[in-house]
Structure 1
Amino acid sequence: MSTASPVPTELTQPGTHRPNMAELDLPVVENPAEVAPQDAREISKLFFERLDTVVEGTHEHQYVRNTLIELNLALVKYAAARFRNRSEQMEDIVQVGTIGLIKAIDRFELSREVEFATFAVPYIVGEIKRFFRDTSWAVHVPRRLQELRIDLAKAVDELSQNLDRTPTTAELAEHLGIEEEEVIEGVVASNGYTAGSIDMPMEDASDHSPAPLADRLGGPDADLETAENVQALKPLIQELDDRDRRILRMRFGEEMTQSEIGEELGVSQMHVSRLLTRITSRLREGLLKAD
């Protein structure tokens, strides 16, 4: 994803329209991002009071809202720090967290009588976690299974401590209040969280130069489809009458020509052709229905 900052930059652009601070009855904040955290909290209260009174879409509203975003960027960096060990770039994590900050600013009300930081951090962390949940999987799986993977991991840790062993599928199902089939589905889906390359060398103590997994993987069996078709044909052939089965045996088993089959049955070669067409069409339709 792009690492361009989502924070509006109008405040720092030369020639940007800035509302009259006297009219807004607000302090002038030249560099909001550099304000100390304690001062930022106090100034934010003043800007939140004014945000409730200015008309949305105006320059005044834009200025107040953008200043609040920059004043509270430290909250995003604080929340993002706990995810520093993730493989994603910290720049991306901060960007996603800033989206959570903006949502918190748009939904905050001073009447809640809580500190804005207390209100905003869950929004910021939630947005970051949602980003990991939706983008960190090696393959796409439904969100329900992504969330189930997290629940299973917590359940395994908790039950392993209580039981002093790895919990069974039935125990996990009972603990989470779901069916065993759902537990199995979640475990299988968890395999899609990470992926390894088949070109990576396999660790094998007997090999001085381990070969990649790709060299050990088998290819598709060319005769597999034929074997499957033969098994599917057996019940269909049993439904044919004796003469139709005899014609099939002579044509495909003994590899007799249509003329030879006609002599054997006492009919013309043309009649044998029509019989074979009818028989094979019936078998083909039966196979297609089975598929």
Structure 2
Amino acid sequence: MAASISATHSPASTGPPGSRRDSYDNLEPLFETLSELAPEDARRTRVREDILCRALPLAEHIARRFTGRGQEYDDLLQTARVGLIKAVDGFDPRHGATFLGYAVPTIMGEVRRHFRDRTWAVRVSRTVKEVHVRIGPATEILAQRLGRMPTARELAAELDVELSEVTLALIAANCYTTQSLDTAPDDDESSSAYSLAAQLGRLEPSYELLENAMSVGPLLAALPERERQILVWRYFGMMTQSEIAARLGISQMQVSRVLTRTLAMLRSEVLSEPVPT
């Protein structure tokens, strides 16, 4: 049906947005005519299609409001048109409300359900999706009211939900979209050699450093205090052998011998290599 609406797009929906308001405003008389016609009356179909065509700019306007959120405009437009059809079929002029007042929340609700149900890269619960959809408008309201970004607790109070539900919704926002492993880290599509997939499985040198540190740590703690202090000054304090010798009141040659002997012992303990004589 949404495709048929597009095919019967009337001239009233063309032109700049500011000139199209009258095309979907004041449609209540047409709905009164529609309600007086029998379902099998061919005129009823024509009146309904006339209402849909005149209200098309409303669906387009609402679809544009949701652009820039990771969804194609064409998909949003089709969803908004489905909401428009539901609004036209569900509106009853006898209730006294205007069609515009009824159609806007109906169409926006359809688009929000589209975001909630069909655009998550990872499956999350419906409750989390619903809270996630409400967080955006609530954040805007609280930011204007407080003059700063609201906390999760303030969002929970505004939405009248548990703090844990807001926290889960904020965490789940990271599951909204995923990134291809073929994507380059710098977003340069030509850099396929540096894609995320190419980085997987590579040897991480930091792991070896961590393993070495975990192996040497107990051995360093067991060293005599002077040998341990010389190692700390030399390799962590970046002091020269001469500076260490001056601080201890010994010769630079003695410092060198201590370092050589201590490092050989540590190597023997860690790698089980025999200390050369």
Give the TM-score taking structure 1 as reference length: 0.51
CA-to-aligned-CA distance 1:15-54 (integer Å, 9 cap, x gap) = xxxxxxxxxxxxxxxx854386536645x33321221111
Query: 1:92 aligns to what?
Result: 75
Query: 2:22 aligns to what?
Result: 38
The one of 89, 98, 111 equivalent to 1:115 is 98
Give the CA RMSD over aligned residues: 3.9
CA contact (8 A) 1:200 1:212 kept: yes
Query: 1:66 aligns to what?
Result: 49
| Corresponding pairs, count | 190
Give the C-alpha shift of residue 151 in structure 1.
Answer: 4.2
CA-to-aligned-CA distance 1:50-98 (integer Å, 9 cap, x gap) = 2111111432322221121112212222222323434433333222111
Q: Secondary structure at the match of 2:36?
A: coil
Query: 2:182 aligns to what?
Result: 199
1:139 aligns with 2:117: no
**Structure 1 unpaired stretches of 5+:** 13-30, 204-208, 220-291
Query: 2:5 aligns to what?
Result: 7
Report the structure, 1 or 2, having the larger helix content.
2
Query: 2:87 aligns to what?
Result: 104
- Closer, same or farther in 2 for the Cα pair 1:92/1:176, shift >3 Å? closer
Give the C-alpha shift of residue 130 in structure 1.
Answer: 1.8
Aligned-residue sequence identity (percent) comes to 31
CA contact (8 A) 2:112 2:133 kept: no
CA-to-aligned-CA distance 1:146-183 (integer Å, 9 cap, x gap) = 1222345566674798496884x666656655555444
Whichever residue aligns with residue 52 of structure 1, its letter is S
Q: Secondary structure at the match of 1:72?
A: helix
1:214 aligns with 2:197: yes
CA contact (8 A) 1:80 1:97 kept: yes
Q: Secondary structure at the match of 1:114?
A: coil
Give the C-alpha shift of residue 193 in structure 1.
Answer: 0.5
| C-alpha separation in 2, matches of 1:103 and 1:143 | 22
- Closer, same or farther in 2 for the Cα pair 1:148/1:56, shift >3 Å? same
